[in-house]
Structure 1
Amino acid sequence: MRNSDDSRGHLIGRQFGGDGHDMRNIITQGKVQNNGDISDVENSIAEHVRTTKNTVLMSVTPLYRNGGVRASHVLIEAGMTAAGQSPTCFPIFRICYGSCR
């Protein structure tokens, strides 16, 4: 059942090449979560890429409770490799919206 504050969220945002029509990249989540905190983190990661020219490796994992169809939490992890250096991943973000225990 759809909640009035549901939002169609992208796991990988458009600014990172995420496909808004590929249903494997779409989850149901809260509007506040999607248009607030998650958007802020995506924008911070995108700004980091623009200013440093580093490669960023991202993982976005929706977490569900009790077999629900709406993500109760979203874990975002991102790391970078410095331009021209070996692909060692340095963490820059590890954020979970909601209690990811």
Structure 2
Amino acid sequence: MSEFANEGGILAARFTGAVAGAGVSLIYLLPQTHREAASRFLTGLACGMIFGGPVGLWIIKRLEITEGLSGQDIMLTGSAAASLCAWWGLGVMARVAERYAGRPKP
């Protein structure tokens, strides 16, 4: 995993994957306000940058497709998946919490 940190192409793939995943997450679950869109995008970007490597490695091992993939491919895939899942899941939970927050308890 340490070889991922020192290569410029890996950093570019990590950033590109994180941006792509964050963008797709905004399309899947449309934001209600500009503030929500910005927070979701930044959350997805941060999660993709931080968790892109481990998620990419988990995906290729789980799917057993380790042969023929470069570090950039692994990082791009992992960053996009981590970014997409981060706010897709959190966005659903936030909407459910918002819906039931105003209801009085029985």
Quickly name the TM-score band, shorter chain normalised: 0.3 to 0.5
Determine which structure has greater relative contact order: mean sequence separation of CA pairs < 8 Å that are 6+ residues apart, divided by chain length: 2
Larger strand percent: 1
Larger helix percent: 2
Larger radius of gyration: 2
TM-score (ref. length: structure 1): 0.34
TM-score (ref. length: structure 2): 0.32
